[in-house]
Amino acid sequence: MRNIFAVPIRDQILIYAPLHNLAALVSPTLALRLRDLLASGEPAGDGPLGELVDLLRDEVTEPAPLQGEFVPSALGLLPTRGCNLACRYCGFIASEETQFVMSLEMARDAVNWYMDQVQRSGAPHAEIHFFGGEPFCVEAVIDLAVHLAQRRAAEIGCTLRFEVATNGTFSEARCYWTADNLDTVVLSFDGPADVQNLHRPYKDGSGSFDAIARNARILSEGANSVYFRACITEATVGRMPEIATWFCQEFRPDAVSFEPLQPTPWSDNAGLVPPDPWAFAHNFIAAAQILEAHGVRPVYAPAEIGARQVTFCPVGKDFVIVAPDGVLTACYLLRGEWEARGLDLRLGRMNTDQNGAVQIDPEAVESIRGFNVHNKLFCAGCFARWHCAGGCHVNHILGSQPGDYDRLCIQARIIALYNILHAMHHDELAHTWLQDHAALARSVWQASDRLADRDGTL
Amino acid sequence: MSTAARVRCAPGIVWVKDTGRALLVDGETGRLWALQDADALTWELLSMGYKYTDLVRMLALLLTLSEDETSAVLDDTLARWQAAGIVLAAGDSAHG
């Protein structure tokens, strides 16, 4: 019964069992009866309650951490940690790591090693992601990696997908190339000119809006998938519906992801503050309705109820990221960030003096596979544990006591609950629940959502 | 560096990439070219504005050739393309 959850939604109880692919709204009395029947194992009889009990008695398999032989699930390349922008919230600006640029030989060796692994494992598919800094600051690495991987994939006979996370300020010619050659473009785009230019100026202080807007239009016309990723602050949280409307009117993204500002000393200096989580959740949901009405997928990644995962990000998924200095890591954040948290997310390194030999450290692989929600006791009783999986292993510091939810937990729980009600077509209930702050607070502030932990006052 | 090294794509040429080939059309004459394999790769990199030395380095890594070998192949390719009019010497105007 550990994966059956019960969350109050006004005067009803949402029974949510993600591993059973089941959600139901029942009365509190029925929820307690359900709990007792599941605990006792006694027959539930015929009728809707009996059917529900039968479904929830089915054995389910929890998502498990990876085990056994290391086979890279994807390759990430970091051509540089440097960037042409000086975003006011970005911690990369002052990092010493920005001085390194990946050599073409290292990119070649990394791609060849990865494609060799794909061939050896017989995997039908290969996947290469480019992160930064701004990866297009070193275009030659991207060109080399794309052409080489395409040639190797054709030899091996596997499919191949490319994804890039970019600030989108590249030239028009490079934009057309990107639209033609990369499958998914994740564009950091915070909104209309006043927001974009305030948050994401060039290093000389001038605005980046004109370049990104031109390129977003070009990419909108391409065959590839385009995701906008907008950073939301306290000042812009109330504008999320407006930003969503504007994105839909001006461009044709496939998805829009809204992410709350992750505070840094630089964002503090710039006077940028994370949004209030309740306001973020409310405005995300309002924005999501606008996006969906335009056929655009709204994304708040920790609340994606389609996900069943033990880790939220590449960490723990045997995803290999090659840093410009040849260190292989599991995380695309700056090394200094995770080292400051006492974490070691290195998987190995490339030895450029030994013909690019790649050394994966088996102990590091095992250690990093341990970064998963099974080892996050704080999340054990949360209905969203298999969706959010505790979030970022580096920046999401989990509470010490059950129910000690921080702003990230609060907004993830509200949005995930909304997503569940929306998927059940209970939009009217979702709307009244969102307007009822006391009811919303009751839903959020449960120390444990497990049905088995619910007492008689449910 | 050879004379053929200092070239650029002729401005009247439009092109598309199609399953590993580069299909070129001269918008004025209607003449067509289908470039395959290394030629298609060279055309794409040239169209992205790579300078000769960078082009040699990139192609050498992609084609697993030495830079001297790559340079010889590239000079030959660019000379053929210049004769065909799909690339121009860098100082030439579009209508020569």
A53, A37 contact by CB (below 8 A): yes
Is B6 domain-assigned?
A: no
Q: Give residue for tokens 């029942």.
A: A26
- List every span in chain A annotated with CATH 3.20.20.70: 74-363
Give me the helices (H) in A182-323, please.
193-199, 209-221, 240-250, 265-269, 277-293
Looking at residue B95, its pLDDT comes to 39
A18, A386 contact by CB (below 8 A): yes
**Assigned token pair, A161:** 């997908």
Q: What is the total count of domains within chain B?
A: 1
Asked if pLDDT for residue A7 goes beyond 70, the answer is: yes
Q: Which residues of B touch A147 (CB under 8 A)?
A: 41, 44, 62
Size of interface A-B (CB pairs under 8 A): 30
Please judge whether A151 and B57 are an interchain contact, meaning their C-beta atoms are less than 8 angstroms apart: no
For A160-189, what is the mean pLDDT? 96
For A396-419, what is the mean pLDDT? 94
Average pLDDT over chain A, rounded to an integer: 95
The range of the structural domain enclosing residue B52 comes to 12-85
What is the percent of chain A with per-residue pLDDT over 90, rounded to a whole number?
90
What is the percent of chain A with per-residue pLDDT over 70, rounded to a whole number?
98
Beginning with the edge strand found earlier in the chain, give each strand of the sheet holding A357-360 in spatial order: A297-299, A255-260, A225-232, A184-188, A159-166, A125-130, A74-77, A319-322, A327-329, A346-351, A357-360
Confidence of residue A457 (pLDDT cuts 50, 70, 90): low
| Dist. CA A316–CA A311, nearest whole Å | 6
Segment of A33-42, A282-291, A355-364 carrying the highest mean pLDDT: A282-291
Please judge whether A144 and B45 are an interchain contact, meaning their C-beta atoms are less than 8 angstroms apart: no
Confidence of residue A424 (pLDDT cuts 50, 70, 90): very high
For A382-410, what is the mean pLDDT? 94
Q: Which residues of B touch A180 (CB under 8 A)?
A: 17
* AA identity, residue A301: A
Mutation target among B13, B15, B47, B62 for the A interface, most CBs of A within 10 A: B62
Pairing of strands A74-77, A125-130: parallel
Q: Which residues of B touch A143 (CB under 8 A)?
A: 45, 48, 58
Is B63 domain-assigned?
A: yes
Please judge whether B48 and A104 are an interchain contact, meaning their C-beta atoms are less than 8 angstroms apart: no
Query: Tens digit of pLDDT for each residue in A210-246?
Result: 999 999 999 999 889 999 999 999 999 999 999 999 9
Looking at residue B96, its pLDDT comes to 31
| Dist. CA A215–CA A173, nearest whole Å | 10
For chain B, list the strands marked E by DSSP. 7-9, 13-18, 21-26, 32-35, 87-89
DSSP A286-355: HHHHHHHHTT-EEE-GGG-TT---S-SSSTTTTEEEE-TTSEEES--S-HHHHHHTT---EEEEEEGGGT
Query: Tens digit of pLDDT for each residue in B4-56?
Result: 457 788 888 999 988 779 999 998 899 999 999 999 999 999 999 999 999 99
Backbone φ and ψ of A259, nearest 5°: -130, 130
For A252-259, what is the mean pLDDT? 97
Closest CA to B75 of B9, B3, B13: B3
| Dist. CA A428–CA A422, nearest whole Å | 9
Query: Tens digit of pLDDT for each residue in A50-83?
Result: 999 999 999 999 999 999 999 999 999 999 999 9
Largest CA distance in chain B: 38
Q: What angle do CA A342, A347, A352 make, to 5 degrees?
A: 120
Backbone φ and ψ of A139, nearest 5°: -60, -35
Q: Which residues of B touch A177 (CB under 8 A)?
A: 48
Query: Tens digit of pLDDT for each residue in A261-318?
Result: 999 889 999 999 999 999 999 999 999 999 999 999 999 999 999 999 999 999 999 9
Looking at residue B1, its pLDDT comes to 45
Please judge whether B61 and A151 are an interchain contact, meaning their C-beta atoms are less than 8 angstroms apart: no
Confidence of residue A354 (pLDDT cuts 50, 70, 90): low
Q: Which CATH number fits domain A74-363: 3.20.20.70, 3.30.565.10, 3.40.50.300, 3.30.1330.80?
A: 3.20.20.70
Beginning with the edge strand found earlier in the chain, give each strand of the sheet holding A5-9 in spatial order: A5-9, A12-17, A22-26
Asked if pLDDT for residue B3 goes beyond 90, the answer is: no
Of A104, A105, A147, the CB nearest to B41: A147
Average pLDDT over chain B, rounded to an integer: 86
Q: Which residue has the higher pLDDT, B85 or A24?
A: A24
Looking at residue A91, its pLDDT comes to 77
For B69-90, what is the mean pLDDT? 92
For A13-35, what is the mean pLDDT? 96
Of A144, A150, A180, the CB nearest to B58: A144
CA A243 to chain centre: 20
Q: Which residues of B touch A150 (CB under 8 A)?
A: 20
Residue A76, beta-bridge partner list: A129, A321
Please judge whether B58 and A173 are an interchain contact, meaning their C-beta atoms are less than 8 angstroms apart: no
Is B94 domain-assigned?
A: no
